[in-house]
Amino acid sequence: MHPTDEELLHAFYAGDVAALETLTERYTPLLGRIASQILETRTGSVIQALREWDIDERVTNVWLHVLMTRHVVIGVWPHQRLSALTWIIHLLCLEMDRHLDLRGPF
């Protein structure tokens, strides 16, 4: 049986770096699709959305944020009231909002 996302996050914060790698493999493609959909909605155009950002860079920043929370919070998952996927999508939205430098005529 595969561990749940929450079990993986708890294992990561307990020191198991492989748990974060498993989450990364599990959700990086999904986060990329979500980021694309958000950009398409915000820009109103698939072509404009593709020009805006390097989505891979934004998704990488999400995983770096998760990694850094382990160092800052000293081994505690900071948002245990949220599901792991909800928290990771929330981090993606925050990352995208931080870099909301949409270009072009709107």
Residue 99 near residue 53 (C-beta atoms within 8 A): yes
> Which helix (H) or strand (E) element contains residue 16?
none
pLDDT of 49 over the 80 cut: no
Please give the C-alpha separations between residue 11 and each of 5, 37, 53, 57, in angstroms, as whole numbers.
Answer: 10, 31, 32, 25
**For 4-26, what is the mean pLDDT?**
92
pLDDT of residue 103 exceeding 50, the answer is: no
Residue 22 has pLDDT above 60, yes or no: yes
Token pair for residue 39? 């950009």
**What's the one-letter identity of residue 26?**
R
Q: What is the pLDDT of residues 84-100, one digit of tens each?
A: 898 899 888 888 877 66
Residue 67 has pLDDT above 70, yes or no: yes
Which tokens go with 25? 């493999």
pLDDT value of position 39:
81
Q: Residue 64, Cα to own-chain centre: how many angstroms?
A: 9
* Whether residue 30 has pLDDT greater than 90: yes
